[in-house]
Amino acid sequence: MLNLTRHPYRLCFLIVAITLIILIACQPGKGAINTFISETDKFYTCSDSFTFESRHQAARCIRYPQESFVAPEPCNAPFSSYRMDYQHHQDSCLSAASQSTELTCPDGAEIYVQPGNDLCVKRLEGAISAPMVLTKR
C-alpha cells in the first residue's frame, strides 16, 4: 500500500499536511472570505465635489479650481434693450430714456467682459482635505 519508510520527506510532508487540515477545520466560524478581509480594514471616500487621489502610500481628497460661465440677468427696466459692446467694454442695458445701467450677475458670479456678449463667471476655489473613513454596511 503506502510505503512511507523509503523517503523521510514523505513522512514529514504527511505529518505537516494532517496538522494543517486539523488547524483549518478547528477555526471558529470564519468563512473563506473572512480569512482575507479582516475586521480592521478601512475604506476611504471623499465628499461629492472632491476627487480621491493616492500617491506613495498617502491619500487625499482634492478639488481643482473650476470656472463656470452663465448668462447675465436680463434687463428689467421698462422698454430696455441689451447693448452689446465689441471693444472690450462692459455691455449694458439701455432704457427708453437713454439711461444706461450695468448688467447684473447672479449671486456668487462676477462679470467677465469680452468682445461681444459679456458673461458672468462663477469661480470655485481649489481645496484639499483629508479622506473620510467609509463605514461598512
pLDDT attached to residue 38 = 54
Q: Tell me the HSE value of 80 on the side-chain side, using a 13 A CA sphere.
A: 18
Per-residue pLDDT of the chain (137 residues; tens, 9 = 90+): 455 556 667 777 778 888 888 877 777 655 555 545 555 666 778 888 888 888 888 889 999 998 988 888 888 766 677 777 777 788 888 877 777 778 888 888 998 888 888 889 998 889 998 888 775 55
CA-based R_g, the chain, Å = 35
Strand 58-63 to strand 127-129: parallel, antiparallel, or no bridges (unpaired)? antiparallel
Give exposure, 63-74, as e/b (b: 16+ Cβ within 10 Å): beeeeeeeebee
pLDDT of residue 61: 92
